[in-house]
């Protein structure tokens, strides 16, 4: 990951830079990303209404929260979003090494986290929390069909721990990262910053297609873990997150 006080050149090996904020993020080696095989998708003439950035932001305000991870001598920030199983989805690197994990809504209401689990095969985490005091939170819908090349994608989160923002770009396709257990990742032209890690990538109907986790430095493209790694029959397995004081 990239810490907020380090240069953008800090990368996952030579090409990847974590989109998290923090003071002690460690870069993890990864191999060169190669294009993933794709199957041409069928197109239809059915027209679907697309949401504007303002409409996507309104949708995100009811689901996407700011994450602040206070570890042993370090503080990092990221984003998370509410899934339909009533857990928050984020990145593994956002919650690892935690001592205290704080979450808050776009307008400053706090959530109490209970526990966190992480995946070993992908940069994904699930956070259990108590949001009974924030009754307005609603889970985001997910999309199970693949993203097409050239499709517009929005990434929502709290860049550098600041206000909730929506940035849009277009999909440039899927790629394989051998260090991520040969799992495909999605690349988009959306420009993300430290703090965006864990935020949802949305299609123009407001459905989650993946989770932002890093930036490819040489292209400035956002790297997204597909939603199929998060939910459904191919979802990765989770284990309890390690605390910094364990």
The answer on pLDDT for 128 being more than 70 is: yes
- Banded model confidence at residue 48, pLDDT cuts 50, 70, 90: confident
E strand intervals along 53-164: 64-70, 75-82, 88-90, 100-104, 110-119, 125-130, 152-157
How far apart CA 69 and CA 144 sit, in angstroms, is: 30
Strands 200-202 vs 208-216: parallel, antiparallel or unpaired: antiparallel
Quote the tokens at residue 34.
């190669």
How far apart CA 96 and CA 118 sit, in angstroms, is: 8
Q: Please state, for a pLDDT cut of 70, what percent of the chain lies above it.
A: 78
How far apart CA 246 and CA 240 sit, in angstroms, is: 12
The angle at the Cα of 96, spanning 93 to 99, to the nearest 5 degrees, equals: 140
- Supply the pLDDT for residue 84: 81
List pLDDT tens digits, range 104-114: 999 998 888 88
- Supply the pLDDT for residue 113: 85
List pLDDT tens digits, range 145-190: 999 999 999 999 999 999 999 999 999 999 987 566 678 999 999 9
Q: Which residues pair with 12 in a beta bridge?
A: 16
The answer on pLDDT for 32 being more than 90 is: no
81-92 mean pLDDT: 90
Which letter does DSSP use for residue 108 in this model?
Answer: S
List pLDDT tens digits, range 155-165: 999 999 999 99
The answer on pLDDT for 49 being more than 60 is: yes
**Top-confidence range, 6-20, 42-56, 99-113:** 99-113
């Amino acid at each position: 990951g990239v810490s907020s006080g380090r240069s953008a050149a800090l990368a996952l090996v030579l090409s990847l830079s974590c989109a998290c904020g923090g003071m002690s993020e460690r870069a993890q080696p990864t191999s060169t990303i190669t294009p993933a095989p794709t199957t041409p998708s069928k197109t239809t003439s059915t027209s679907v209404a697309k949401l504007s950035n303002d409409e996507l932001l309104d949708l995100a305000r009811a689901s996407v929260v700011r994450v602040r991870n206070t570890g042993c001598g370090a503080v990092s920030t990221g984003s998370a979003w509410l899934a339909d199983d009533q857990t928050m989805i984020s990145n593994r690197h956002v919650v690892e090494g935690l001592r205290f994990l704080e979450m808050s809504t776009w307008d400053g209401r706090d959530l109490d986290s209970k526990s966190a689990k992480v995946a070993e095969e992908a940069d994904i985490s699930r956070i259990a929390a108590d949001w009974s005091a924030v009754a307005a939170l609603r889970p985001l819908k997910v999309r199970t069909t693949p993203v097409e090349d050239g499709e517009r994608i929005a990434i929502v989160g709290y860049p550098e721990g600041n206000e909730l923002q929506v940035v849009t770009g277009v999909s440039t396709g899927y790629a394989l990262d051998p260090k991520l257990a040969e799992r495909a990742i999605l690349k988009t032209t959306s420009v993300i910053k430290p703090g965006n890690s864990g935020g949802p990538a949305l299609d123009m109907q407001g459905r989650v297609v993946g989770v932002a986790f890093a930036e490819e430095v040489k292209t400035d493209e956002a790297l997204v873990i597909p939603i199929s790694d998060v939910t459904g029959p191919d979802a990765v397995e989770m284990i309890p997150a390690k605390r910094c004081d364990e």
